[in-house]
Each structure stands twice: as C-alpha cells, then as structure tokens.
Structure 1
Amino acid sequence: MELKRIDTNFTVCKVADLSQVNMEDEFVFVSKTDEEISLVCATSKTPSNTSERSDGWKAVRIEGKLDFSLIGILSKISTVLAKNNIGIFAISTYNTDYILVKEADFDYALKVLEEKGYRIV
C-alpha cells in the first residue's frame, strides 16, 4: 500500500465559526457537532478565531480511492504506529484517509511504516 507524504505543516484546532476559514485552501478539514467546530488546516492558514489549537502536525495520505467495503486499513496503520508509541490524528474523506502525526515523530513513523511494507511516496 502506498502512503503519500504531504509536505505541509498542519494545525488541529477549534474555531468559533467558519467565517475566517478559506474553503479554497488546498487542505481544509472541517467537522461540526453540537459541541464544537474542529478544523485541520495548513498552519500558515490557521484563522485567528481559534479557541484551542495544536500545531506541529505532518501528514500522509493513503493513495488511491478506498472502497467502503475495505476493512481495517486505518486500523492496521494506527496499530503499527501505536505499537511504536506514536499518536495519530486520523481524518477520513469520501475517497481516502489521512494520518497526521506530530512533527517530532514523523520521520520515525515513516520508517516504521516502511519496515511493515508500506511504500512512502
């Protein structure tokens, strides 16, 4: 399985509203519930109306369009990383999944994934 390294620094944050979020940016992940609005975006594009934020994330994307019938892809990746004490923040889109890892652990995460047979592109 191929994982594409994304050369962007990401921020995971909570925002008061979406008024300052530019939906035209290359990477914008928004989740809204009855309790919060969460945003993952390029750190350089983080809006000023954040109430909480965590900077220093890097990401990989599972390459290709994943069929909904496929089972355990994200689970296998997260297990490999968890066994190596690497925490993740996962995002699923209609087509695929993104795995974010803190920048300090990113190179090590790529190494252990390669050792388990994942191809990093």
Structure 2
Amino acid sequence: MTLQVLAAGLSVCKVSDLSGVDLSGELCFLGKTDRELSLVCPTDRVPDSTLAREDSWRALRVAGALDFSLVGVLAGIAGVLARNGISIFALSTYDTDYVLTKEEQFDRALAALRQAGYDVE
C-alpha cells in the first residue's frame, strides 16, 4: 500500500462557526456533531473564529480510492504507529483515509511505516 506525504503543516481546530474557513487549501476537513464544529486545515489558514487549536500536525494520505468493502486499512496503519508509541489523528473521506501525526513524531512514523512494508512517497 502506498502512502503519500502531504506537504502542508496542519492545525486541528474547534471553531465557533464557518466564517473565515478557507476551503481552497490542499486539505480542509470539517466535522460537525451536536457538540462541536471541528476543522483540520493548513496552519496558515486557521480562521479567526477558532475557539481552540492544536498546531504542528503532518499528514499522510492512503493513495488511491479505497473500496468500502476493504477491511483494516486504517487499523493496519494505526497499529504500526501504536506499536511505535506514535499517536494519530485519523480522518476518512468518501475515497480514502488520512493519518496525521504530530510534527515531532512524523519522521519516526515514516520510518516505522516503511519498516512495516508501506511505500511512502
């Protein structure tokens, strides 16, 4: 399986509303529940409506579109990283999965995934 490194540094935010959210970046992910409105976006595009934020995240994308019948893709990646003491923030879209780690753990994450047989580009 191939994992693609995304270049932008990311922030995970809790926002009060969608005003100022810039959807034009390489990755912008919104999540809404009855309790919160969350945003993952490039750090240089964090909106003013941010209530809380965690900066210094990096992302990997599972290359290609994943069929919904596939089992364990995210679990496999998460398992490798967990065994190496690396925490993740996972995102899933219609087509694929994204795994974020903190910047200071990113190189270790890449090395662990390569060691486990993942192609990282």
Q: TM-score range by the shorter chain?
A: over 0.9
Give how far 1:74 is off: 0.1
Residue type matched to 2:87 in 1?
G
The unaligned stretches of length 5 or more in structure 2 are none
Match of residue 41 from structure 1? 41
SS of 1:17 mapped into structure 2: coil
Paired position in structure 2 for 1:114: 114
Which residue of 2 is the match for residue 50 of structure 1?
A: 50
Q: Structure 2 length normalisation: TM-score?
A: 0.98
Deviation, structure 1 residue 51 = 0.7
CA distance in 2, matches of 1:43, 1:35: 23
Q: What does residue range 1-121 of structure 1 map to in structure 2 within 5 Å?
A: 1-121=1-121
Matched residue type, 2:115: E
Sequence identity, in percent? 50
Specify the code of the residue in structure 1 equivalent to 2:100: L
Task: Compare 23-32 and 38-47 and name the one that shifted more.
Answer: 23-32
Equivalent-residue separation in structure 2 for 1:112 and 1:68 (angstroms): 26
1:64 alignment partner AA? G
Two-structure CA RMSD over aligned residues (Å): 0.6
Look up the SS of the partner of 1:112 in the other structure: helix
Aligned AA (2:46) = T
Q: How many residues align?
A: 121
Is contact 2:19–2:47 with CA below 8 Å preserved after alignment? no
Paired amino acid for 2:106:
F
Give distance in 1, aligned partners of 2:25 and 2:108: 28
Q: CA deviation at 1:26?
A: 2.5
